Chain A
Amino acid sequence: MDARRRRVMKEIADCKNDKSSNIRIDMIDDSPFHLNGSFPGPEDTPYQGGHFEVDIVIPPTYPFQPVKMKFITKVYHPNVSSASGAICLDILKDAWSPVLTLKSTLISLQSLLCSPEPNDPQDAEVAKHFTTSKGSFDDTARYWTQIYAVDPSARGKSSEKLQSAGDEVAMAGLEKAHVDQFEALGFERGKVIDALRRLNYRGANVANITEDRIVEELLK
């Protein structure tokens, strides 16, 4: 058995035996080189209560080159792309060391959720939201956790309500009143949400953006 396979199999087994870390690594199909990792959202963060899944690809040169990881679960976080799930984390790039394991890397991802690095963002829009109005950012991140990361059975009946139309606004971290205001001018709702999100029309930032500027953006 080659060294890479032995190592990955052992890592998977070790992770299974370790109940305390709450981290799971499962095989997709029968190959140990394409895995699915998951961990609970850290407590006292907007991600609490969520269950986050990560797509893991083991490159042929593993463990001498870093493992490839991206979020499957949508996450609202400055260092995670809100569209693709791509992750910006040093140990997945230059700071990788062959002694790091899948488990330790997943733990690092978990702690990345606790301490975002908005100065080295993966998703610029989300990072802007984070730096300008932390409170509003937390609301949105919590909302995304509820929508995407909470097990549907645990969420129960509330799920239907959450996914109704009005939630697009909350998902973008915007105020319903603001969206209604511009929709009333005759713009399509989706367009208004896009424009307001691009301009980061949130929290204290609202005072800095004139209505004309928004209309201009909407007319683009």
Chain B
Amino acid sequence: MDMDAFNDDFKVTSKGKHKSYEIDYESLTQGAVEKLMQADIEHISGIFGVDENTASLLLRYMNWNKERLIEKYMDNAASVTSSAGISPLEPPTSQSQAPIRSSIEAFVCPICFDDSQTKTLCLSCDHTFCASCWIAYATSKIRDDQEMAIRCMAEGCSLVAPDLFVRSILEEDTTTWDRFRELVIRHFVASNPNLKYCPYPSCTHTVSCPSASSKSSLATVVPTVACGASATHKFCFGCPIDGDHRPVICGVAKMWLKKCRDDSETANWIKSNTKECSKCQSTIEKNGGCNHMTCKKCKHEFCWVCMGPWIEHGTAWYSCNRYDEKDGVDARDAQSKSRASLERYLHYYNRWANHEQSAKLSIELYSKTEKKMEEMQITSDLTWIEVQFMKKAVDEVEKCRMTLKWTYAMAYYLDKGNEKELFEDNQRDLERAVEDLSELLESPIEAENIPTLRQKVTDKTVYVQKRNEIVLEDTANGFLEGRWQWNCSVDGFD
């Protein structure tokens, strides 16, 4: 069996078709971004009739906003040029250190106090320092401070070194020069709402996704993107979540994560250790003593065991046998109502957390299985390709569990109604399929049963993939059609 036929087993829809839960984006290398930047610089350089170094500094000063720069520059070119650190506020006076270059013997660098330096440098402000101080200074600014504006070292001087100058002093240190260029590019990317830097450590790719650049667009699309460096560099263009939070939109995902951070641990503890006062609903922890409780807040006296008023217990200390008393039932009803919202949250939270945990476990399981299968490949006559079907299945299970995980966050905030029921039906179908496949993956592997297991797993994987598509597609369409109703206010919805 060749590789293509193997892949065909898992193919569900034809390639190239744009799915409603996917977004158009483009991954750019650092070089490509540099080209975009260069185009802006050349544009400004052409309009203003200045050299590219100057144009670049002007653009950086204005956070790469060309329109605003043009407007301000046309208004008062001199003031923009000096605030951008290109020309000195006042022209250098004649008594400055300018002539020192010609009489190098007399020059003592005011920073290192060295009089043996033969190479000195200065910007157009004529504040002269020795070359080695400039190098040390620029390196320290770039490497320690992540700073791309290398200002003149003189106190109070706001002149910024143009790229050509930085380049010349870092001639021998290409790593620092590369870092400098990266800082400039990062600034360019950060200033442009259509661009986002890949958040993975030491990755230098950028993603361009104009259709998710506005805040309002994030109410209808989930811009999950991946940079060109690696398919695992998946992130959300709209929010700082690393990874894929489809099918829920950024606003809901953010709300849910915040709720989980604030509540989960505390909620579990409250649920197992406290009860509410049957009169004022304050949460009470019983940390010892008898069952005769007196609420600190409303002074209501009640029995911890049956929650009824203490008055009905008379002198029956420590023995509560009044379970059926009407007041006790009422009190428990009131309490169960206030518990209901907590229970509801925990219902969704536990499932959310469970899918995350299960996804981790199936990956662990797979690494064990993989070893076994590779051993089998050596001991039996199975080919490499024939023992690889598990990998596909585990990947799919993990992917679907992530979808399922987020559907619980979505369901928590969805308003009751037909739409929610349909959503939960889709969720249930996917969940059931994923659980079945998960179970199959755990079945014992023997050389004899591999062909049947392979068939079963492959079939199930295709089915799971289909169910996942349905959930993603239907939810995405729902956002586009404005079908989802929330039970609280969500960013971007009225």
Q: Do A and B come from one complex?
A: yes
> Is the Cβ of B153 less than 8 Å from the Cβ of A98?
yes
> Is the Cβ of B112 less than 8 Å from the Cβ of A3?
yes
On chain B, the number of residues with a Cβ less than 8 Å from chain A's Cβ atoms is 19
Most buried by B among A3, A6, A7, A65: A3
A57 to chain B, nearest CB (A): 16
> Is the Cβ of B144 less than 8 Å from the Cβ of A65?
yes
> Is the Cβ of A64 less than 8 Å from the Cβ of B113?
no
> Is the Cβ of A10 less than 8 Å from the Cβ of B113?
yes
Q: Encode A60-80 as 1/0 by CB contact (under 8 A) with B.
A: 010111000000000000000
Q: Does B110 contact A (CB under 8 A)?
A: yes
Q: Does B141 contact A (CB under 8 A)?
A: yes
> Is the Cβ of A98 less than 8 Å from the Cβ of B133?
yes
Q: Does B154 contact A (CB under 8 A)?
A: yes
A84 surroundings in chain B (CB, below 8 A): none
Most buried by B among A61, A98, A100: A98
A45 surroundings in chain B (CB, below 8 A): none
B113 surroundings in chain A (CB, below 8 A): 6-7, 10
B145 surroundings in chain A (CB, below 8 A): 65
B100 to chain A, nearest CB (A): 15
> Is the Cβ of A61 less than 8 Å from the Cβ of B111?
no
B156 surroundings in chain A (CB, below 8 A): 97
> Is the Cβ of A7 less than 8 Å from the Cβ of B144?
no
A5 to chain B, nearest CB (A): 10
B155 surroundings in chain A (CB, below 8 A): 97, 99-100
Bound-complex Cα distance A11 to B111 (A):
10
A100 surroundings in chain B (CB, below 8 A): 155
Q: Of residues 49 to 103 in A, which have CB atoms within 8 Å of B's CB atoms?
A: 61, 63-65, 97-100
Q: Which residue of B lies closest to A3 (CB)?
A: B112
With contacts A6-B114, A61-B144 known, is A99 near B132, CB below 8 A?
no
> Is the Cβ of B110 less than 8 Å from the Cβ of A64?
no
> Is the Cβ of B137 less than 8 Å from the Cβ of A64?
yes
Contact of B153 among A6, A10, A61, A97 (CB under 8 A): A97
> Is the Cβ of A64 less than 8 Å from the Cβ of B154?
no
> Is the Cβ of A64 less than 8 Å from the Cβ of B114?
no
B153 surroundings in chain A (CB, below 8 A): 97-99
B137 surroundings in chain A (CB, below 8 A): 64, 98
Bound-complex Cα distance A100 to B155 (A):
7
A208 to chain B, nearest CB (A): 30
Q: Which residue of A lies closest to B143 (CB)?
A: A61
A6 surroundings in chain B (CB, below 8 A): 112-114
Q: Does B487 contact A (CB under 8 A)?
A: no
Bound-complex Cα distance A10 to B141 (A):
24
B65 to chain A, nearest CB (A): 24
> Is the Cβ of A64 less than 8 Å from the Cβ of B112?
no
Q: Does B136 contact A (CB under 8 A)?
A: yes
Q: Does B175 contact A (CB under 8 A)?
A: no
Q: Does B79 contact A (CB under 8 A)?
A: no
Q: Does B268 contact A (CB under 8 A)?
A: no
Q: Of residues 106 to 142 in A, which have CB atoms within 8 Å of B's CB atoms?
A: none
Q: Which residue of B lies closest to A2 (CB)?
A: B112
Most buried by A among B129, B140, B145: B140
A64 surroundings in chain B (CB, below 8 A): 136-137, 140-141
> Is the Cβ of B111 less than 8 Å from the Cβ of A65?
no
B156 to chain A, nearest CB (A): 7
> Is the Cβ of A3 less than 8 Å from the Cβ of B132?
yes
B140 surroundings in chain A (CB, below 8 A): 61, 64-65
> Is the Cβ of A97 less than 8 Å from the Cβ of B154?
yes
> Is the Cβ of A99 less than 8 Å from the Cβ of B112?
no
With contacts A61-B140, A64-B136 known, is A3 near B110, CB below 8 A?
no
A63 surroundings in chain B (CB, below 8 A): 111
Bound-complex Cα distance A6 to B156 (A):
25
> Is the Cβ of A98 less than 8 Å from the Cβ of B111?
yes
> Is the Cβ of B110 less than 8 Å from the Cβ of A99?
yes
> Is the Cβ of B114 less than 8 Å from the Cβ of A99?
no
B111 surroundings in chain A (CB, below 8 A): 7, 63, 98-99
B114 surroundings in chain A (CB, below 8 A): 3, 6
A7 surroundings in chain B (CB, below 8 A): 111-113
Q: Of residues 148 to 185 in B, which have CB atoms within 8 Å of A's CB atoms?
A: 153-157
A11 to chain B, nearest CB (A): 8
Q: Of residues 292 to 327 in B, which have CB atoms within 8 Å of A's CB atoms?
A: none
B176 to chain A, nearest CB (A): 13
Bound-complex Cα distance A100 to B154 (A):
8
B242 to chain A, nearest CB (A): 31
B223 to chain A, nearest CB (A): 35
A15 to chain B, nearest CB (A): 13
Q: Which residue of B lies closest to A94 (CB)?
A: B145
Bound-complex Cα distance A63 to B113 (A):
12
Bound-complex Cα distance A149 to B28 (A):
62
Q: Of residues 1 to 29 in A, which have CB atoms within 8 Å of B's CB atoms?
A: 3, 6-7, 10
Bound-complex Cα distance A98 to B157 (A):
12
Q: Encode A161-172 as 1/0 by CB contact (under 8 A) with B.
A: 000000000000
A79 to chain B, nearest CB (A): 20
A3 surroundings in chain B (CB, below 8 A): 112, 114, 132-133, 136
Bound-complex Cα distance A61 to B111 (A):
13
Q: Of residues 102 to 147 in B, which have CB atoms within 8 Å of A's CB atoms?
A: 110-114, 129, 132-133, 136-137, 140-141, 144-145
Q: Encode B421-454 as 1/0 by CB contact (under 8 A) with A.
A: 0000000000000000000000000000000000
Q: Which residue of A lies closest to B136 (CB)?
A: A64
Bound-complex Cα distance A188 to B132 (A):
62
Q: Which residue of A lies closest to B156 (CB)?
A: A97
Bound-complex Cα distance A129 to B279 (A):
46
A119 to chain B, nearest CB (A): 22
Q: Which residue of B lies closest to A61 (CB)?
A: B140
A69 to chain B, nearest CB (A): 17
> Is the Cβ of B154 less than 8 Å from the Cβ of A99?
yes
A59 to chain B, nearest CB (A): 10
A123 to chain B, nearest CB (A): 27
A111 to chain B, nearest CB (A): 15
Q: Identify the A interface with B (CB < 8 A).
A: 3, 6-7, 10, 61, 63-65, 97-100
Q: 8 new A-B pairs (CB below 8 Å) besides A63-B111, A99-B111?
A: A3-B114, A7-B111, A10-B113, A61-B136, A64-B136, A65-B144, A97-B153, A98-B111
Q: Which 5 A-B pairs have the closest CB atoms?
A: A64-B140, A97-B155, A3-B112, A98-B153, A10-B113
What are 10 A-B interface contacts by the 8 Å CB criterion?
A: A3-B114, A3-B132, A3-B136, A7-B112, A7-B113, A61-B136, A61-B140, A61-B144, A64-B136, A97-B157
